[in-house]
């Protein structure tokens, strides 16, 4: 477990959000297509250059609906597999964070990597949790502590 897996966890959460947004968009389009009725007028025979009569034809775009439904199913399957992968990765991340010896760092890591808060928000939460601390947490303080942790842990080199 290294810093890259923690960062990958953050990006996977964003990817799943994007996939969910796309699937919702496909579902809305599919619902619109199911409600859609296509209308066209067709001429029936000709008497000279003039048509005998015109007929109004109505129907649904079944091929388009079927293609959208198949795409939606594929995207749903992809989302489900990514969610399972994210769940496995989140378990690994939680185990790794639990293995950190200092409680203060564990809290920072959960807030920053799992809850996806910025350094400033992590500092604010830490200040709320520890109001009697002599030196208040700052975003720079939190950032440096996380960076130093990765520099000092041999299996977790800091790649810049």
Q: Pick from 135, 147, 143, 97: which is nearest to 119 by CA?
A: 143
Per-residue pLDDT of the chain (160 residues; tens, 9 = 90+): 567 777 788 788 888 888 888 888 877 877 887 787 878 888 887 777 777 788 888 888 788 888 888 888 888 888 888 878 887 888 888 888 888 889 999 999 999 988 889 999 999 999 999 988 888 999 999 999 988 988 877 654 444 4
Token pair 């198949």 is at which residue?
70
Contacts with 1 (C-beta within 8 Å, 6 or more apart), sequence order? 92, 93, 95, 96, 155, 156
Q: Pick from 34, 10, 26, 116: which is nearest to 77 by CA?
A: 26
| Residues linked to residue 51 through DSSP beta bridges, in sequence order | 46
């Amino acid at each position: 477990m290294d810093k890259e897996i923690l960062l990958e966890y953050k990006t996977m959460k964003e990817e799943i959000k994007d996939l969910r947004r796309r699937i919702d968009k496909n579902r809305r389009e599919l619902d619109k297509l199911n409600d859609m009725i296509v209308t066209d007028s067709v001429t029936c025979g000709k008497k000279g250059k003039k048509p005998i009569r015109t007929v109004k034809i109505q129907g649904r775009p079944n091929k388009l609906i079927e293609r959208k439904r198949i795409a939606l199913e594929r995207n749903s399957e992809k989302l489900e597999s990514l969610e399972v992968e994210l769940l496995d990765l989140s378990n690994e991340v939680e185990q790794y964070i639990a293995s950190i010896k200092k409680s203060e760092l564990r809290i920072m890591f959960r807030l920053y990597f799992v809850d996806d808060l910025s350094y400033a928000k992590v500092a604010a939460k830490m200040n709320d949790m520890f109001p009697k601390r002599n030196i208040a947490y700052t975003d720079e303080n939190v950032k440096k502590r996380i960076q130093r942790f990765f520099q000092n842990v041999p299996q977790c080199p800091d790649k810049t």
